Structure formats: structure tokens, C-alpha cells
Amino acid sequence: MPHEVDLPRFGTLTYADDDVIEFPWGLPGFADHRRFLVLSLDGPGPFLWLQSLDDLKVALPIANPWDVFPDYKPPIPYYARVALELEEPADFVLYCVVICTAGATELTMNLLAPIIINLKRRRARQVMLESSRYAVRQPIPRTDALKEALRS
């Protein structure tokens, strides 16, 4: 059964139950937010939005880290593989939160704590990488698409 929701940032959206991603453990800073949608909006760059259905004012920009950092090799911790029931690489996707502060001239990406989504089970978790060399605020290299995104 389709649901319709009026999102403050994106307007009216129709979604199905199968579109909802559950975060059973919540997200750091958003512990009570458990149900999200991944939104792909027309616009420049590789950016998506992780839209909360529990608080419609909360939407986090995310991106596929390999679109920006092709050499990214996150060691997915054992607890995350077990908790999310990850079996095959084709069963899940990994995104990183993009950080943009007001008036920022550069964007950063949280490579230390990626979000892993099990596509079959529609469950997700933000995972802290253990003993990692990755940063919480890794500057995103400036590209034409990024420059355009910063203007909007």
C-alpha cells in the first residue's frame, strides 16, 4: 500500500513499505529515528538523502564513497556483518554521510563511520570502523559537480 508524506525539504513524496530502511539501533545523534528512505533527487553530483520518517525535518546527505574516493577500502567489522546478516557483496550497499556546515566552501565525508544497508532485509546500521586510518571529516575533492552543488 503506498504512503504519501509531505517532506519539508523535498515536497510531497509517495513511497511503499518496501522502500523503508530500518535502523534497529538508530543513528548516532538520532537514536529515536529508526525508519528512513534513501532519496535520489535530480541534481549535480553523487549525492543522495537519508530521509527520516520518524522526524520529517531530518534528512542527511549521503554518497557512495567510491564515487569520490575510489581507493576507499573499509574493513567491515565482524559484529556488523553478523548484525546485518551480510552474506554476499551484492546484498548490501555502503554510503557515507556528507557534512556541510552553513556557509561552507568545502564538503567533507565521514569515512570512519559508513552506513551499511542490507538490501534484502531492508535493515541498516552506521558502523564505526575499527583501527581505521579514515577520518570523520575527510575533505571531498572539488569537482565541477561539487562546485555546482555548493552553489545551490
DSSP sequence for 78-101: HHHHHHTT--SGGGEEEEEEEE--
Global pTM?
Answer: 0.88
Q: Domain for residue 111, yes or no? A: yes
| Domain presence at residue 130 | yes
Residue 51's pLDDT is what?
97
51-72 tens-digit pLDDT? 999 999 999 999 999 999 999 9
Torsional sign, CA 16, 18, 20, 24: positive
**152 assigned to some structural domain:** no
CA distance 134 to 106: 18
Domain count, the chain: 1
Contacts 24+ apart (CB under 8 A), 133-136: 134/72, 134/74, 135/108, 135/110, 135/111, 136/110, 136/111, 136/112
53 with 39: CB under 8 angstroms?
Answer: no
In a domain, 78, yes or no: yes
Cα angle 112, 97, 128 (rounded to 5 degrees) comes to 30
The residue ranges of the chain whose pLDDT is under 50 are 147, 150-152
Q: What is the pLDDT of residue 63?
A: 95
Range of the domain at 119: 3-146
In a domain, 151, yes or no: no
What CATH number has the domain bearing residue 135? 2.30.290.10
Task: Please report the pLDDT score of residue 152 as a whole number.
Answer: 47
